């Protein structure tokens, strides 16, 4: 009898996973930056949703454009590694600097790591791009 009860509880828990993910999806689609980041993370990890790095990148971008520093850092990592986006270290550094300016804890260390692989022109280009993005992001906050 206990085994049946445990199986029934397990089935309920498994059935609840898509519901939880769906509510995150609904909040993300409604413009909630934290939910957009969470949905991007779920697509990146493949734990609650099927792994889809392109969708992960899209949701991180939506959240990042609203000033979500953790999503900005997620984009920096994706562009630095080429996982979820084409590898582009200049864009990676741009997102990393924006994340650092928003106070995201791990951003300065990642920025230093990315910067080691950039020349002066690439750093200047990344900073120019970031300066162009920053007002649009600040306006949405």
Domains of the chain as residue ranges with CATH: 2-140 (1.25.40.10)
Number of helical (H) and strand (E) elements in the chain, helices listed first: 7, 0
Q: Is the dihedral of CA 96, 99, 101, 105 positive or negative?
A: negative
**114-121 contacts, C-beta under 8 A, 24 or more apart:** 114/76, 114/80, 114/89, 117/89, 118/89, 118/90, 118/93
The mean-pLDDT minimum among 6-10, 58-62, 76-80 falls in 6-10
d(CA 94, CA 105): 16
Q: What is the pLDDT of residue 55?
A: 96
Q: Are 136 and 62 in contact (CB under 8 A)?
A: no
Q: What pLDDT is attached to residue 60?
A: 97
HSE at residue 40, side-chain half, CA atoms within 13 A, is 28
Question: How confident is the model at residue 140, as a pLDDT?
Answer: 60
Residue 95 has pLDDT above 50, yes or no: yes
Mean pLDDT value across residues 117-135: 92
Residue 121: which pLDDT band, with cuts at 50, 70 and 90? very high
Q: What is the mean pLDDT of the segment spanning 88-112?
A: 96
User: To which residue do tokens 């741009």 refer?
Assistant: 94
Least confident of 10-19, 23-32, 35-44, 88-97: 10-19
pTM: 0.81
Measured distance CA(61)–CA(45) in Å, rounded: 16
Q: What's the rounded mean pLDDT across residues 68-75? A: 97
């Amino acid at each position: 009898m206990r085994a049946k009860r445990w199986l029934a509880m397990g089935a309920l828990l498994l059935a609840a996973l898509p519901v939880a993910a769906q509510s995150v999806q609904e909040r993300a689609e409604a413009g909630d930056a934290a939910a957009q980041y969470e949905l991007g993370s779920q697509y990146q990890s493949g734990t609650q949703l099927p792994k889809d790095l392109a969708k992960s990148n899209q949701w991180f971008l939506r959240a990042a454009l609203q000033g979500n520093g953790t999503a900005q850092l997620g984009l920096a990592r994706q562009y630095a590694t080429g996982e979820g986006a084409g590898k582009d270290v200049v864009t990676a550094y741009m997102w990393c600097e924006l994340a650092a300016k928003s106070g995201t804890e791990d951003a300065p260390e990642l920025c230093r790591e990315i910067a080691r692989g950039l020349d002066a022109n690439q750093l200047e280009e990344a900073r120019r791009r970031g300066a162009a993005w920053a007002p649009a992001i600040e306006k949405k906050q």
